[in-house]
Amino acid sequence: MDYSAVIARDPAICGGEPVIKGTRVTLRTILASLAEGASIEEILADFPTITETDVRAVIAFAAMSAKDDMPVRSVS
């Protein structure tokens, strides 16, 4: 997935936090909502400027970021 089509980072918007392009909805906000148990439909109702594709891009981006950034200890 081409995240640059969905996710933007601009120092002038939300202090440079990644957001859904064309909005001020941060990836952190979407991920926190999901972590609290919100469904995609609930998130879309709360943030009508984003789409289901946007939410799925955020999830995919987070998954790829976790893969690259989080060391996992070996189980012995």
The percent of residues above 70 in pLDDT, for the chain, comes to 87
Q: Which residues contact 7 (CB under 8 A, 6 or more apart)?
A: 18, 19, 20, 21, 27, 57, 58, 61
Domain that holds residue 15: 3-68
Question: Residue 36 has what pLDDT?
Answer: 97
Is 75 within the bounds of a domain? no
Q: Which tokens hold the place of 11?
A: 């120092």
- pLDDT(73) > 70: no
Question: Could you report the per-residue pLDDT of 11-33, keeping only the tens digit for each?
Answer: 999 999 999 999 999 999 999 99
Per-residue pLDDT tens for 62-72? 988 877 665 65
Q: How many domains does the chain have?
A: 1
Report the distance separating Cα 3 and Cα 9, nearest Å.
Answer: 11
Q: What is the CATH number of the domain that holds 10?
A: 1.10.10.10
Give the per-residue pLDDT at 71: 62
Average pLDDT for the chain = 90
Q: Pick from 50, 4, 2: which is nearest to 29 by CA? A: 50
